[in-house]
């Protein structure tokens, strides 16, 4: 009988995972090796191997195959660093999990699902260095989502604003998309808060790094974050023009969905599927002349119970509620524009050996602009 496709690769990779090497192998490296095996073999049983590796590290997990991709739920018990993180997230109603299939099939380092209240973490975060920047980025999303449903936190609530394309090909179509795998069919304004945190972490690491190659990688990472601040802002402003036009004509379908962790807040989606508006968006915003097989745009915002009731009934004030929210977002993005561009220019002109002061000052100005709006919005609720 001939060997199964990929069997040789799998056998070789398994040997690397379970054969002692000249130095102790970090559990993160072993998990990454399992991901490589999965990439070659698609063997779902590798998750059981991962569970065994984590058990040896004192990390208790539960195998869960109820989702699109099976995974290991990190149980909120035990004294390991990851177990403590899982415990903190559990108090906020957020589940932490590790899924080989999800990471490989979706080509992501880590991800957060606001609908399932779940973070899928990366293998690196199990290692000796602790939680990776990717995991910290997704934790920020989860914490922001939790804060957004607290009555006094109008600031985080404003950032719970998402735009998705409906039934579109996976192409760089949203104005802020920079590649086929980056914010092409979905993005949330909360990325601004998460990327600001990630940029701060990267900048602190850049100042300490002495290895030339790692220093260069960190600088590229910073430049990507800086560019995304601008892209996210431009994406939102350009796409929201379509919704504002439809609001003026009261030509929107409204879909309220109760928030997963709060009975007092609803996700309210505005759907644009009117051909003339979509054609205008494609021609003037996407700069495309060829048609794409898509059915529309969806904007999802977070509203309290009172406003949601008004929106759902389609009363005259519904238009005002939506437009007021979009206006608040526009004002916020306008305040962030100057420090965001200064931060981008500072990262692009930085040379090894130079002081990081300009980048630090620009990022501090961005943080200050956010803090000022936080005070104003939290006062209003």
Per residue in 282-327, pLDDT (tens digit) is 666 666 666 554 556 788 899 988 888 888 776 677 788 888 899 9
The SS3 of residue 36 is helix
Strands (E), 273-348: 296-304
Give CA–CA dist 144/160, Å, rounded. 8
* Strand blocks (E) in 190-260: 253-258
229 and 142 part of one domain: no
Burial (CB count <10 Å: 0-12, 13-18, 19+), residue 64? middle
Is 338 contained in some domain?
Answer: yes
338 and 249 share one domain: yes
* CA 234 – CA 341 distance, rounded (Å): 12
Kindly state whether residues 239 and 334 are assigned to the same domain: yes
Q: Taking 50 as the threshold, does the pLDDT of residue 186 lie above it? A: yes
Q: What are phi and psi of 273, to 5 degrees?
A: -135, 15
Phi-psi bin for 52: left (phi > 0), alpha (psi -120 to 50), beta?
alpha
**The predicted structure's pLDDT at residue 347:** 97
Percent of the chain with pLDDT over 90: 49
Q: Quick one: 133 and 244 in the same domain?
A: no
221 in the same domain as 137: no
* Domain endpoint, select from 148, 174, 197: 148
In the chain, pLDDT over 70 holds for what percent of residues?
79
C-alpha span between 196 and 362 (Å, rounded): 11
- Asked whether residue 275 is domain-assigned, the answer is yes
Q: Say if 142 falls within a structural domain.
A: yes
Which residue, of 108, 125, 148, is where some domain finishes?
148
b (16+ CB within 10 A) / e for 90-112: eeeebbbbbbbbbbbeeeebbbb
- Residue 159 in any domain: the answer is no
* Counts for the chain of helices (H) and strands (E), in that order: 13, 10
Question: Based on the domain organization, do 43 and 143 belong to the same domain?
Answer: yes
pLDDT in tens, 201-244: 999 999 999 899 999 999 999 998 898 888 888 878 877 887 88
> Which residue, among 247, 268, 239, has the nearest Cα to 319 in the 3D structure?
247
357-380 helix and 316-349 helix, angle to the nearest 10 degrees:
170
Ranked by mean pLDDT, the top range of 65-69, 100-104, 143-147, 152-156 is: 100-104
Question: Is residue 369 in some structural domain?
Answer: yes
Whether 228 and 99 map to the same domain: the answer is no
Strand partners, 118: 95, 113
- Tell me if 196 is assigned to some domain: no
Give the end of a domain, one of 148, 165, 195: 148
- Give the integer Cα–Cα distance in Å for 13 and 7: 10
- Confidence (pLDDT) at 7: 35
Are 257 and 369 found together in one domain? Answer: yes
Considering the entire predicted model, what is its pTM? 0.83
H-helix or E-strand spanning residue 269: strand 265-272
Check whether residue 114 and residue 231 sit in a common domain: no
Check whether 351 has a pLDDT greater than 70: yes
Number of domains in the chain: 2
Whether 311 is in a domain gets the answer yes
pLDDT of residue 6: 36
- Do both 32 and 101 map to the same domain? yes
pLDDT tens by residue, 72-88: 999 999 999 999 999 99
**Domain co-membership, 132 together with 216:** no
Residue 15 confidence (pLDDT) = 39
Domain that holds residue 80: 1-148
- The answer to whether position 168 is within a domain reads no
Gap between the Cα atoms of 40 and 34, Å rounded:
10
Q: 221 and 88: one domain?
A: no
């Amino acid at each position: 009988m001939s060997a199964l496709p990929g069997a040789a690769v799998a056998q070789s990779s398994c040997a690397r995972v379970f054969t002692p090497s000249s130095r102790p192998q970090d559990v993160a490296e072993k998990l990454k090796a399992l991901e490589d095996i999965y990439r070659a073999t698609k063997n779902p049983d590798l998750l059981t191997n991962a569970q065994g590796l984590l058990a040896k590290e004192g990390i208790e997990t539960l195998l869960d195959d109820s989702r699109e991709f099976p995974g290991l739920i990190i149980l909120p018990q035990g004294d390991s660093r990851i177990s403590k993180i899982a415990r903190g997230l559990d108090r906020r109603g957020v589940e932490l999990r590790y899924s080989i299939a999800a990471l490989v099939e979706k080509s992501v380092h880590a991800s957060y699902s606001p609908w399932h209240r779940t973070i899928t973490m990366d293998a690196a975060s199990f290692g000796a260095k602790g939680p990776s920047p990717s995991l910290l980025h997704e934790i920020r999303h989860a914490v922001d989502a939790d804060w957004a449903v607290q009555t006094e936190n109008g600031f985080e609530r404003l950032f719970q604003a998402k735009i998705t394309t409906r039934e579109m090909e996976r192409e760089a179509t949203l104005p802020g998309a920079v590649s086929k795998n980056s914010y092409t069919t979905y993005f949330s304004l909360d990325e601004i808060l998460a990327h600001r945190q990630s940029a701060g972490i990267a900048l602190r690491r850049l100042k300490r790094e002495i290895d030339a190659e790692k220093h260069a990688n960190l600088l590229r990472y910073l430049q990507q974050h800086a560019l995304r601040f601008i892209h996210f802002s431009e994406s939102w402003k350009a796409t929201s023009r379509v919704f504002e036009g439809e609001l003026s004509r009261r030509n929107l379908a409204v879909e309220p969905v109760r928030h997963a962790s709060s009975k007092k807040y609803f996700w309210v989606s505005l759907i644009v599927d009117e051909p003339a508006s979509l054609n205008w968006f494609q021609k003037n915003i996407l700069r495309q002349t060829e048609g794409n097989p898509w059915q529309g745009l969806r904007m999802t915002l977070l509203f309290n119970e009172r406003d949601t009731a008004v929106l759902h009934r389609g009363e005259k004030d519904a238009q005002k509620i939506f437009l007021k929210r979009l206006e608040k977002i526009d004002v916020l993005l306008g305040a962030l524009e100057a420090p965001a561009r200064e931060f981008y220019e500072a990262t692009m002109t930085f040379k090894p050996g130079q002081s990081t002061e300009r980048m630090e000052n620009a990022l501090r100005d961005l943080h200050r602009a956010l803090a000022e709006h936080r005070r104003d919005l939290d006062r209003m609720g």
